[in-house]
Structure 1
Amino acid sequence: MGEPIIVTYKLYSAMASESSIVRRPSFDGFEVKDLKAGSDGLASRETIDGVGFDVHTVLKLQLTPYKDGRLSLGTLTMRNRVRLVNANGKKDPILNGVNEGYSLDNGYFNLSVTSVPIPIIVTALPGNTTPSTKFDGLVGDFKMDVQLAEKVLAPGKAAALTITITGKGDFSKIKQPEVQWPDEVDVLPAKVDEDKTQSADGSGYKSFEIPFTVNDPGKYTIPSIKFAFFDAVNYKYKTITNIPIEFSVVQEGGTNASVTATNGNEENKNFIVLSILVLVVLIIAIWLTFRNRKKKQPHSTQKAQKNLGIQKIEPLAAMTVEDILKPAADALHHSGNSFSTQLKQAVIRFFEQRLVLPPGSFNQTMISSYLSESNIPVQKHDAILSLFNELDMAIYSGGIAEADRQTLLNKTRSLLMRL
């Protein structure tokens, strides 16, 4: 109980379909957090029993059970409309040889699909033992790091204590750990940073940056900070802590040198040794960087090819953006989704040319890898993912209005010209 799980609902479609949610799943006994990011709307491609499917992430959720017993993941129902007869009365080849009866609505075949309910067994936390410090019902597997950037401060100088929790669990439930501050310390409200896009296995982080000031010179100690949770891996209560943190407040001009003289000399020696080590490491790093740069391939596309597991081939004659977009421009006045399909293929051809790939080898699953390896600004990165998503929606909706086609073509041309 209290241990979060990640639940993903995906729609697999082998044909162009207009799909919509008819009934959302219920999650009785769970707290629900939406994890679906914008990139999840980008369709991937899978082959099952020799049939190619476009795969769309419909829902991606973090569910945290708040009661024990036998719970269930609710069912998701989606309505799908597949066009099998076009406006000219031409039937889709899939109907060839179909003898059993079927009904069409204005050329569309309607089909609803429903997911299977999945039982979840939730056990109560053991009540015979409790952690040595306050327990707020947090369940997972966590680590804690406590850092103070500066150990020697001037009176009244702003400083900050940073507490970072990493691991797996429901990070939204993590509260700021209690700190036993010395009486002379003035503490300000903490700045909280939480990972909003947790990975598929539920891992993430949450940090608390606590600003503070001290006006009185002297030597201070922040006692150990305790963080309690139920360890879902070893099935026991656990309290983790850090070593006490010491820092000094020194008046400018050395009027309080007697307070920290011994520590000051020791810190100066440590600083000199550390500086020498850092300088040596920096020199070695610069030498390795120049040596590796000579060994690297001269063009960024070769790097992308290596990371994507693609063998280098000789580039074909380069095509301009207008040449690549010409088939889509020629289909601008065509009805249905032919324009959207041609435009998507044009964008794919653009990236195949950029990466020097064989025709037909690039797919959308490579997009994120390529963008992460390229020096493309975040705004353009998001615009590319959004464009693929918009093209998929246009294709699966059966086409868009002619005015919208022209707008989409101009938008695509502008984006590709800027890459």
Structure 2
Amino acid sequence: MPPRARKRRASATESNGTEDAPPRKTTRAPRKPGARGTNQRRGKNFMRATNASSNKRRKVFSVEAKSRIKKHCSDFMKFIDKETHALVPRIGIEILKKDISPDLAGVLPWTCSSSALQKQSTQPYPKIILKALDNLQSDVRTYEGLVKQDNKIRAPNWMRWQQDINDLEDVSKHSLAIASKMINHFIMPDSHELPPKPSEGAGGVEHVAWDLIEEALPKMPDDIWGKIAQGHLKAFTGDLDQAAKMGALKYVEELQKKKQSDVVAFLLRVRCWELRQLNVIHRASRPSRLDKARRLGYKAKQGYVIYRVRVRRGGRKRPAPKGATYGKPTNQGINQLKYQRSLKATAEERVGRRCANLRVLNSYWINQDSTYKYYEVILVDPQHKAIRIDPRINWIVNPVHKHRESRGLTATGKKSRGLNKGHRYNKTQAGRRKTWKRHNTLSLWRYR
């Protein structure tokens, strides 16, 4: 079914002919005013009312502000007119002259008489001030010229300023000399004496210096710092145990025992580097360990010689030509074999072969590293006269002591000869340790 056609609205030409026709009735129901439209109309009315009230208030405020500004302007104009027509109070000239020196009367214009002031009243104040400044500058220049001018004024001769300066310097020098002597006497009373009192014939400067220093002299001769310090030192040294006193060699010996201390460890490390740079066997000018050398028989005199030597550390590898060791398997070792003599004995033997005309007396350890051990060997010249006439060392001149280091006659060589060794050797009654202990033990029995 085709849709119903909508009725067309009549045009203006068509409506002209039907002016008297009654209005057409429509079938659409009348629109009811909704709640939303009502609220919108109420809101618009409210905004119009508030805008009108605010405009009225703005008009009132602007009128009041304009009236206030006009009032302030009129008051300010009245104040300006009043101050403009008011008379400036005049200050009398006498008040200005009161605190000003009369010397400035010619400079300052207001210090002049009233007639002169009336004549100059036509000049403006800036010109008057500039003129016054010019006058002041001219006076300053004149004063500076007078100051620089030599007026040939000298101090009178009776004042003797230069002589007094010289006398004061002499007094200071004499006082300083006397004070230094006193201080030396206070500190070292045995070496320095107190300054004596100047004689009657001495100058006045010396007497003045003595009068100034005399009050500081001690009343009692023993009541000084040096004597008191010496007394304390004597009392302190008397209380010390004799065993606590230590000489230089004893101090070096005790220091050498602490090889892991900072001082000794540093010295050993530095000297070890130095010894590596030198030859394997070389002569030393003096012992590295003087205390040890003296305990082993060294004397700092002619005929004694010190040699240094280094020996490679480690065991002795057996030479096996073509790997043939021969013998039973228990004796076929090659690597883990040890030399039966010590490295120090080896060092003595090498030095003895180098210096064949000298006799080896003893040796001692000085240093070591991972590769070498370093020793110093004490040798004696048997042909030297100082050795041959010394009864304490001339025993080594005997020909039987030739190359004693190669035959195990030194202290080091004896340790590898089997002497004083073996099972239960320490139990022997006449052993060296037993004898030493018996000689150094104090036995205090109850009933003696």
Larger RCO: 1 or 2 (CA < 8 Å, sep 6+): 1
Which has the larger share of strand? 1
Structure 1 and Structure 2 fold alike (TM over 0.5):
no
Which has the larger share of helix? 2
Q: Report the structure number with the largest CA radius of gyration.
A: 2
- TM-score scaled to structure 1, two decimals? 0.19
